[in-house]
Amino acid sequence: MNKKFSLVAGSLVMFSMTLMACGAKTSSDSSVKVNISPVATAAATAAATTAAAGNANAEAFTLKVGAWFLDDLPQSKDFQAVAEKKFNEKYPNAKVEWDILVSEKYFDKMKAELASGSGDDVIFNQNVPELAKAGYLADLSEQPWVKNMLDATKPTITYQGKVFGAAQTVATFGMFYNKKIFADLGLQPPANWKDFLAVCEKIKAKGITPVVGGFKDQWTLQYLLSGLTEISSQNPKLEADFYSGKAKLNGPELQGALNKLGELAGKGYFNKNALTIDWPQTQIEFASGKAAMIYQGNWMPGVAEQTFKDKDFTPFEVGFFPIADENGKVLMGVGPDHSVSVNAKSKHLQAAKDFLALTLSQEVLSVNLKDIAFSGIKGVDATYAQPAMTEISNALQKQPSALHELVYGTTFPKSSLDTLVRAAQKVISGSKANGDLDEAQKNYDKDKSTLIMP
């Protein structure tokens, strides 16, 4: 707080106290009367409140912020630095402690800590309704930024009509490709599934992996399975239809997705170790030119650029196309990526809300968006140096989209998701997924009551 303002505020408070003392003295003295100005009293009260707030903001404390996506890339470090800087402008003696675990284990750790009554003050997550239902999150419905949320994200950050988080970034998914390999082989982005298989065949014939998979990390397989389900169904309300019973998990939509996955695996279009390598290894396979394509989210161009630098690979331009069905129809999955909430039991509740709010500001959020994501908040602009980001944006403008929910687990029971992933793993390994979709439907019926629908 500015020292000059503190002195002025102190003077106003002392002046107010003097007036009140005089008033008390003259209450029994009829010869002297002092009228206290309501304006002066209000000003003194406001100054005292401001001074108290300033002193509170000057207190030393540590705010813990949990996240899974903040790795060692410069962009992550820049985001952390600018967020801390803006936070310290309001809370000069506060320290931000980043609690980061770059893997799926983060979510298990986060839930365990919240269940024990602890947990970080600010929580980046991907399952706001579930955490809100459990009572772990603070109600943020009255926060100023709520009016600026993208409409498409609202079902994923609300519970029983209240807002418990903000979708800081939104993501979409599709096929990223090496434009040099495509140019060298005279290939164009395929317009339908048949063309896609033909492209894969020509790439494979040159000894290059057509599509690299790192399915040791289950989420990467869920993304691909979800994308194949979307184009197989062409139904933007499929999850709701599963819930109402209009569609079944052992119906043509998921079976169609497994069939397409089987085509890719059966023809040898995945790397042979697709089930045993992870997401970081696929970054190297793609950036090194050993693989021509990778199915990922819109962070891929920025990740590839950094991998070129870190591994001293020869850079190439990354392109993007959405996968399409046999008739050339596309349904792009879109969903929140980095949602952020406040721990309802935080000892620094207001500071946590303030930190969340600043992560949604132009100055801070734009750093997190740069070349890897799209804003979930209206009016926040980002810089996209990567041509692929423009291609993604153009595709989103032209193609229909659906809320990409299969990857988040809020509209599918975990038991069903685990069964579906197991079925996909069998198909990739060359086995038959006999009975797995029936089991997935049984698990869905058994655990349907645990779902939190938008």
Tokens coding 395: 């595709």
How confident is the model over 300-340, as pLDDT tens digits?
999 999 999 999 999 999 999 999 999 999 999 888 889 99
Nearest to 64 by CA among 339, 343, 338: 343
pLDDT at 14: 33
Residues in the chain, total? 454
pLDDT of 379 > 80? The answer is yes
Q: What is the mean pLDDT of residues 185-200?
A: 98
Contact between 401 and 180 under an 8 Å Cβ cutoff? The reply is: no
pLDDT of 15 > 80? The answer is no
pLDDT at 407: 55
Contact between 264 and 215 under an 8 Å Cβ cutoff? The reply is: no
Q: How confident is the model at residue 405 (pLDDT cuts 50, 70, 90)?
A: low
Nearest to 106 by CA among 121, 120, 90, 92: 120
pLDDT of 395 > 60? The answer is yes
Average model confidence (pLDDT) for the chain? Answer: 86
Residue 275: burial class (beta carbons within 10 Å; 0-12, 13-18, 19+): middle
pLDDT at 54: 52
Alpha helices in 234-377 (DSSP H): 238-244, 252-266, 279-287, 300-311, 349-358, 362-369
pLDDT at 72: 85
Q: Rounded to an integer, what distance in angstroms lies between the CA atom of residue 282 and that of residue 120?
A: 31
Q: Rounded to an integer, what distance in angstroms lies between the CA atom of residue 113 and that of residue 117?
A: 7
Identify residue 49 by its one-letter amino acid code.
T
Q: Rounded to an integer, what distance in angstroms lies between the CA atom of residue 35 and that of residue 402?
A: 67
Question: Three-class SS of residue 171?
Answer: strand
Q: Rounded to an integer, what distance in angstroms lies between the CA atom of residue 364 and that of residue 169?
A: 12
pLDDT at 56: 60
pLDDT of 48 > 60? The answer is no
Q: With residue 46 as reference, give the H or E element that holds it.
A: helix 38-57
Nearest to 343 by CA among 158, 185, 191, 124: 124
**23-53 core/surface letters (b: 16 or more CB in 10 A; e: else):** eeeeeeeeeeeeeeeeeeeeebeebeeebee
How confident is the model over 238-276, as pLDDT tens digits?
888 999 999 999 999 999 999 999 999 999 999 999 999
How confident is the model over 54-63, as pLDDT tens digits?
556 779 999 9
pLDDT at 36: 34
Percent of the chain residues topping a pLDDT of 70: 86
How confident is the model over 432-446, as pLDDT tens digits?
999 999 999 999 999
Q: Rounded to an integer, what distance in angstroms lies between the CA atom of residue 422 and that of residue 436?
A: 8
Place of tokens 């021509």: 292
Q: What is the mean pLDDT of residues 30-39?
A: 35
Q: Rounded to an integer, what distance in angstroms lies between the CA atom of residue 164 and that of residue 452?
A: 14
pLDDT at 260: 98
How confident is the model over 114-169, as pLDDT tens digits?
999 999 999 999 889 999 999 999 999 999 999 999 887 888 899 999 999 999 99
pLDDT of 20 > 50? The answer is no
Contact between 453 and 244 under an 8 Å Cβ cutoff? The reply is: no
Cα–Cα–Cα angle for 192, 333, 225, rounded to 5 degrees: 75
How confident is the model over 330-372, as pLDDT tens digits?
999 888 889 999 999 999 999 999 999 999 999 999 999 887 7
Q: Rounded to an integer, what distance in angstroms lies between the CA atom of residue 145 and that of residue 361?
A: 9
Q: Rounded to an integer, what distance in angstroms lies between the CA atom of residue 360 and that of residue 122?
A: 13
DSSP-assigned letter for residue 432 = -
How confident is the model over 207-228, as pLDDT tens digits?
999 999 999 999 999 999 999 9
